Amino acid sequence: GENVEQHPSTLSVQEGDSAVIKCTYSDSASNYFPWYKQELGKGPQLIIDIRSNVGEKKDQRIAVTLNKTAKHFSLHITETQPEDSAVYFCAAGGKLTFGQGTILTVHP
């Protein structure tokens, strides 16, 4: 089955800096890669996703890149704000296999 590894487990940045979270996956048949943001006590919220026919996708301050050959994908957040502080999960596949999560803290 699919296996997803996510790094780093924690990430601390200053407001205005960029944040990058990376994931690798094992199943070359996977073709769907969403990213979710989870705030304390809430359910995961989809923030961006990418499919295998696209190498990069951007939505305002958030971008995702996908390298199918190397089987890794990354989340990029620019101009971080304190409200970006949360746990971020990458996932892969149809019945989603999630990474272990990254706790992002943005310091004012």
Partner 1 sequence: NAGVMQNPRHLVRRRGQEARLRCSPMKGHSHVYWYRQLPEEGLKFMVYLQKENIIDESGMPKERFSAEFPKEGPSILRIQQVVRGDSAAYFCASSNPWREPRGDTQYFGPGTRLTVL
Cis-peptide, bond into residue 8, ω within 30° of zero: yes
Q: By CB under 8 A, name the one of 25, 34, 35, 63 that touches partner 1.
A: 34
Rounded Cα distance between 49 and 91, Å, is 9
Q: State which residue, 43 or 108, has the beta carbon closest to partner 1.
A: 43
Report the candidate in 37, 67, 64, 31 with the shortest Cα–Cα distance to residue 49.
Answer: 64
Q: State which residue, 7 or 78, has the beta carbon closest to partner 1.
A: 7
* Part in contact with partner 1 (CB under 8 A); list of ranges 14-22, 30-38, 61-69, 76-84: 30-38
Report the candidate in 26, 28, 23, 29 with the shortest Cα–Cα distance to residue 49.
Answer: 23
Rounded Cα distance between 49 and 33, Å, is 6
Of residues 38 through 97, those in contact with partner 1 by CB under 8 A are: 42-46, 49, 51, 89, 94-97
How many chain residues interact with partner 1 (CB under 8 A)? 20
Name the site residues for partner 1 (rule: CB under 8 A).
Answer: 6, 32, 34, 36, 42-46, 49, 51, 89, 94-101
